[in-house]
């Protein structure tokens, strides 16, 4: 894979940005951060947990902050010219050509309650385009990663979206929050169930999007998601042959948006169930 990666990037207009190095570093940092998170996870009873803005679903722990500080420090050391957008520390240098978009622990509620459905997500925008991503799941020793034009992988195994032609032949991931958009959640579920589909919500959007790329889920719909939860996943799904809604429209990077990712043969059916809310 390394030789193919080098060949692709040498021919790319972005080659002076050392994207091969960024891709390899994103994988390394994601894995190291996830292992650090696993140490906190094993002693989670000792962590102070705070609720953001009084909303029970949105929680933050010392582990979230420590992991984001670690990731941000590693990236700044390697790529001081790059911008950064993180869930815990916010945005800096968003005018840069390369912008890292990071969720140190996606699925914090799962993390603090002993559920194995949390991960580290690191994505990179290059000139406004999702270019590479790494999603590290330390509990299952899996690293989902992709770079534009080079395919998607779990560890070193190539992955592709599910080939099923019918929503009854697999499981669709779903997510929502107590922020805007939740009113669209139950109507979508009803239509999916009426069509004979099944659904799962595991508490980590980043992980379920990676599962779409790996063919484990048919698709994933969230009524409103933030960029740090899905930027890496957008690259994973696209490189695995899937289809993604236009998440970055209308300030999606900083404000979030609805999101649908799915195998291309199933995307239209799921989009119809969501209706106009998917497009604002």
**Would you say 87 is a known binding-site residue?**
yes
**Would you say 229 is a known binding-site residue?**
yes
Quick one: tokens of 105?
């622990």
CA–CA distance, 74 with 32 (Å, rounded to integer): 10
**Would you say 159 is a known binding-site residue?**
no
Q: Which residue has the tokens 């960029």?
A: 227
Under DSSP, is residue 213 helix (H, G, I), strand (E, B) or coil?
A: helix
Q: How many CA atoms are closer than 13 Å to the CA of 171, on its beta-carbon side?
A: 12
User: What is the b/e burial string over 113-147, where b = at least 16 CB atoms within 10 angstroms of the residue's CB?
Assistant: eeebbbbbbbbbbbeeebbbbbbbbbbeebbbbbb
**Would you say 209 is a known binding-site residue?**
no
CA–CA distance, 97 with 186 (Å, rounded to integer): 39
Annotated binding site for Mg(2+): 87, 103, 105-106, 229
Annotated binding site: 87, 103, 105-106, 229
């Amino acid at each position: 894979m390394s030789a193919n990666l080098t060949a692709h990037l040498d021919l790319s207009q972005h080659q002076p940005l050392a994207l091969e190095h960024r891709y390899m570093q994103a994988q390394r940092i994601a894995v190291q951060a996830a292992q650090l998170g696993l140490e906190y996870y094993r002693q989670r009873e000792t962590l102070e947990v705070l609720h953001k803005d009084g909303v029970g679903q949105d929680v933050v722990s010392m582990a979230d902050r420590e992991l984001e500080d670690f990731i941000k420090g590693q990236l700044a050391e390697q790529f001081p010219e790059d911008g950064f957008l993180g869930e815990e520390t916010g945005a800096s240098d968003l005018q840069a050509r390369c912008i890292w978009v990071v969720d140190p622990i996606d699925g914090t509620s799962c993390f603090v309650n002993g559920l194995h459905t949390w991960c580290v997500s690191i994505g990179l925008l290059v000139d406004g385009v999702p270019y590479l991503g790494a999603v590290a799941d330390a509990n299952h020793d899996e690293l989902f990663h992709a770079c534009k034009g080079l395919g998607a992988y779990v560890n070193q195994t190539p992955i592709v979206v599910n080939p099923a032609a019918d929503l009854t032949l697999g499981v669709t991931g779903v997510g929502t929050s107590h922020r805007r958009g939740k009113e669209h959640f139950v109507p979508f579920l009803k239509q999916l169930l009426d069509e004979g589909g099944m659904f799962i919500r595991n508490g980590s959007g980043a992980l379920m999007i990676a599962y779409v790329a790996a063919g484990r889920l048919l698709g994933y719909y969230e009524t409103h998601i933030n960029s740090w939860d899905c930027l890496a996943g957008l690259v994973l799904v696209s490189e695995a042959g899937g289809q993604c809604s236009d998440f970055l429209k209308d300030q999606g990077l900083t404000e979030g948006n609805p999101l649908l990712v799915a195998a291309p043969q199933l995307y239209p059916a799921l989009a119809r169930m969501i209706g106009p809310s998917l497009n604002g």
